[in-house]
Structure 1
């Protein structure tokens, strides 16, 4: 008996591609479709890949859509505050129930990522088109599968630097070094409820990051790693207005 396809949804604000001509040239059909295209090619019949964007009703993330999603990718940047809290609640509950979440680049500042991690998720940044070297700090991790060597490089990238205000990750798979000397935990995993979360830093909209073979390999691996494990979550979402203790923030 064959396994059912892995159901993946790529969510994107789809703002910069329509407002910035330079971004529009790089990602004419949107970052979400660029990611969806290589995932379909690499995963083939083993996956059903769909997309959703901020401007759709309910941001494209209806109850039915999320119930039919095994792994959700999230790309956000300029419109974090436009995401409705009701949708954030909905995504949070699905992650706790076991849906995987892959948070991309500026998604570190998204409502859903900060909600799940319980911290500000703030960092240092500089947009200067610098060379980035991503050191593979956990070569045995499934997300690093298929990568050769001790590191790979991106010729032009936006710098993100420490301190990155996140709880202690389960795993740090990639550590970036930039020409300016900064370092950054660029690939981190977390577990919340029955769901697995992977944060991956590269992906600034003015650089062709998602056409890079190594980036595509990592994000393909991430889908396979983050898929539901079958574990059961018996709790409920905490009211987001309630404060969390330091211990609860890490759980």
Structure 2
């Protein structure tokens, strides 16, 4: 399975605190963490030509993992439309953390913005598995506990998900739908909340397990491509006798 991990890759360059946590970038931390998962992994970043998401790259990508935060507006609409069409055609999409405000997530969900409550207060996060039968929760116990993370809180302004896999509780009392899925066209989408750039979340083996599970779940299926528009009858339609 061919996986492309996309990252803005600006925080790590501009912020020494972030660089200390992710010296090679969030994209490489995830790639290295999934090294034993059996995927063929490539990376792409915002400042590469075409954001690293050329037509050729996307055509070869089974699942795209997307991390974004403060530079959503810098993503070219042409590239967003290119990714959008690939998802409709069956490419899987894993949307991480602040990418809930990315152009591609908003376009696929049909929302102008996916707002929520937030704060940075080094709070403990407990991600509860509320759908233990879901493939994305495979190998995960009742919950994942992160000693410190950025806090997100409801209301999360998203359409009703197809499935809710994880709900987070934070030390300050907030709760949040942290793992949700959608289907758009032939493509499957998994939004997974944890991953603020100043915390070592993507070094956590359970978080990486969930991302790996999400990649496998969202991989393209071999179903027939839908056909739209005017179509010939499969069977003979006999003329009707008018009375």
- Alignment match, 2:21: 26
- Alignment match, 1:37: 32
- Alignment match, 2:129: 136
- Alignment match, 2:148: 156
Question: Any residues of structure 2 matched to 1:178-189 within 5 Å, and which?
Answer: 178-189=170-181
Shift of 1:235: 6.2
Question: Any residues of structure 2 matched to 1:207-218 within 5 Å, and which?
Answer: 207-218=199-210
Could you give the per-residue CA deviations for residues 41-99 of structure 1, whole angstroms, max 9, x where no partner exists?
2x23xx21000000000000000000000000000001100000000000000000000
CA distance in 2, matches of 1:15, 1:7: 25
- Alignment match, 1:200: 192
Q: Kindly indicate whether the alpha-carbon contact (under 8 Å) linking 2:33 and 2:205 is maintained by their aligned counterparts in 1.
A: no
Q: Which has the larger radius of gyration?
A: 2
Could you say what secondary structure the match of 2:84 adopts? helix
Question: Any residues of structure 2 matched to 1:1-251 within 5 Å, and which?
Answer: 6-41=1-36, 43-44=37-38, 47-119=39-111, 120-148=113-141, 150-231=142-223, 232-234=225-227
State the TM-score, normalized to the length of structure 2.
Answer: 0.91
CA distance in 2, matches of 1:180, 1:39: 31
State the TM-score, normalized to the length of structure 1.
Answer: 0.89
Shift of 1:156: 0.1
Q: Identify unmatched segments of 5+ residues in structure 1.
A: 1-5, 237-251
**May I ask how many residue pairs the two structures share in their alignment?**
227
Give the alignment's Cα RMSD to 1 decimal. Answer: 1.2
CA distance in 1, matches of 2:227, 2:115: 31
Shift of 1:129: 0.9
CA distance in 2, matches of 1:24, 1:188: 29
CA distance in 1, matches of 2:65, 2:183: 16
* C-alpha spacing 1:168/1:57, structure 2 compared with 1 (3 Å): same
CA distance in 2, matches of 1:160, 1:184: 6
CA distance in 2, matches of 1:204, 1:152: 16
CA distance in 2, matches of 1:72, 1:233: 22
Bigger helix fraction: 1
CA distance in 2, matches of 1:169, 1:73: 19
Q: Kindly indicate whether the alpha-carbon contact (under 8 Å) linking 1:193 and 1:233 is maintained by their aligned counterparts in 2.
A: no
CA distance in 2, matches of 1:142, 1:216: 14
